[in-house]
């Protein structure tokens, strides 16, 4: 009987495969940035392979780029390139981009519109109502998500990205990442790490389910 593969190893293998697919994206993918200063063709192909043809994201957890704040995306790419933000998928891709290309990609996707990638995510009416409460108004000692991420979760500058319409799995994975950081090191007050540390799993699922269906 073969030993079971650990969850960590399965995730690492999956990320490696996805990263390879992104870097080797087909050159036939058309440029979707005709109205902006276009980045090189390969960089657009790599983005849409994982993030969708118009940056809509994916139910599997690839984040939505369409309509995302350009300042935030430029900052995120620069952190991936500098390896100050962890991602086995994004770090090698960002290493291939110049500052000009990062700005062009950010401007391109910030202007895109796309249907929600995860609008039919499994979520009960009760879960969605709990998510709405948490996201829009906050609960107990947890501030509303919109208090930092802007009206309707549309984002606020380089620090607070748009969270409206993000696939549920992406939100869940990201909040789990913040929780893992909080377990490794006490978080600074008023950071996402500190906020995530106060959430239980039902609240994470509720927020993620609601955000996945929010806006366009």
For 147-167, what is the mean pLDDT? Answer: 94
Asked if the structure places residue 190 within a domain, the reply is yes
Report residue 150's pLDDT band, with 50, 70 and 90 as the boundaries: very high
Asked if the structure places residue 5 within a domain, the reply is no
| Dist CA 73 CA 42 (whole Å) | 18
Asked if the structure places residue 192 within a domain, the reply is yes
Residue 26 pLDDT: 31
Residue 216 pLDDT: 58
Q: Which of 165, 39, 164 is nearest to 106 (CA)?
A: 39
Asked if the structure places residue 160 within a domain, the reply is yes
Domain interval for residue 41: 11-110
Domain count, the chain: 2
Convert the pLDDT of each residue in 22-81 to its tens digit. Answer: 433 333 333 456 544 445 556 777 888 899 988 999 999 999 999 999 999 999 999 999
Beta carbons within 10 angstroms of residue 13's beta carbon: 11
Q: Which of 164, 172, 170 is nearest to 214 (CA)?
A: 164
**H helix or E strand, kind and range, residue 203:** helix 201-212
Q: Residue 120: is its pLDDT beyond 80?
A: no
The answer to whether 37 and 104 have CB atoms below 8 angstroms apart is yes
Tokens for 33, please give them: 């940035």
The answer to whether 111 and 103 have CB atoms below 8 angstroms apart is no
Report residue 140's pLDDT band, with 50, 70 and 90 as the boundaries: confident
The answer to whether 58 and 51 have CB atoms below 8 angstroms apart is yes
Convert the pLDDT of each residue in 167-177 to its tens digit. Answer: 999 999 999 99
Q: Do 85 and 130 belong to one domain?
A: no
Q: What is the dihedral of CA 70, 74, 79, 80, to 10 degrees?
A: 90
> pTM to 2 decimals?
0.81
Q: CB under 8 Å to 78, separation ≥6 — which residues?
A: 94, 99, 102
Q: Do 30 and 102 belong to one domain?
A: yes
Which CATH number belongs to the domain containing residue 207 in this structure? 1.10.760.10
Q: Do 106 and 20 belong to one domain?
A: yes
């Amino acid at each position: 009987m073969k030993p079971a593969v650990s969850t960590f190893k399965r995730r690492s293998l999956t990320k490696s495969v996805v990263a390879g697919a992104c870097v080797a994206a087909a050159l036939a993918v058309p440029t979707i940035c005709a109205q902006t200063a276009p980045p090189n063709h390969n960089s657009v192909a790599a983005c849409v392979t994982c993030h969708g043809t118009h940056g809509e994201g994916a139910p599997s957890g690839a984040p939505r780029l369409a309509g995302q704040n350009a300042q935030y995306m430029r900052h995120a790419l620069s952190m991936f390139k500098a390896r100050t933000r962890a991602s086995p998928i994004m770090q090698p891709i960002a290493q291939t981009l110049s500052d000009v290309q990062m700005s062009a990609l950010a401007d391109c996707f910030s202007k895109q519109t796309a249907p929600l990638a995860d609008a039919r995510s499994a979520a009960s009416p009760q879960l969605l109502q709990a998510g709405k409460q948490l996201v829009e108004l906050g609960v107990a000692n947890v501030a509303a998500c919109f208090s930092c991420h802007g009206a309707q979760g549309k984002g606020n500058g380089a620090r607070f990205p748009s969270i409206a319409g993000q696939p549920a799995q992406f939100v869940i994975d990201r909040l789990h990442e913040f929780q893992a950081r909080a377990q490794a090191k006490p978080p600074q007050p008023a950071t996402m790490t500190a906020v995530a540390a106060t959430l239980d799993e039902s609240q994470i699922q509720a927020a993620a389910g609601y955000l996945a269906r929010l806006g366009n």
